[in-house]
Amino acid sequence: MKKKCILIINRNKKIYVNTKNCISLLSILLLNQINIDYQCKKGYCGTCKVVLIKGKILYQSFSPLAFLKPGEILSCCCIVEHNIEIKI
């Protein structure tokens, strides 16, 4: 079974995720004891934003409403499509 890799460059941490797993990036981080701030879990507040350095994510059923700078993604409402590198 193929796995996706999430590399957190500023914490020198790698997480491997089952490809059939369609949970949010935020949920993956929390399940792997990666502390990250979050609040609404719906893409409104922007508290859970991280910088996507490399790779591809998909937003679940809606686009986030929080303001994002170029390169930022909301971990609460995106899923990992391919291997990614992020900065928290």
User: Domain residues of the chain, as ranges?
Assistant: 3-87
CATH of range 3-87; options 3.40.710.10, 3.10.20.30, 3.40.50.970, 3.10.129.10 = 3.10.20.30
- Kindly give, in sequence order, each residue whose CB lies less than 8 Å from that of residue 17, ignoring residues fewer than 6 positions away: 3, 4, 5, 6, 28, 80
Residue type, 55: G
In total, the chain counts a number of residues equal to: 88
pLDDT in tens, 30-79: 999 999 999 999 889 999 999 999 999 999 877 778 899 999 999 999 99
State the first-to-last Cα distance of the chain, in angstroms, to the nearest integer: 28
pLDDT in tens, 14-27: 999 986 768 999 99
* Residue, of 1 and 85, whose pLDDT is higher: 85
Give Cα separations from 10 to 7, 14, 69, 86, 87 (angstroms).
9, 11, 19, 8, 6
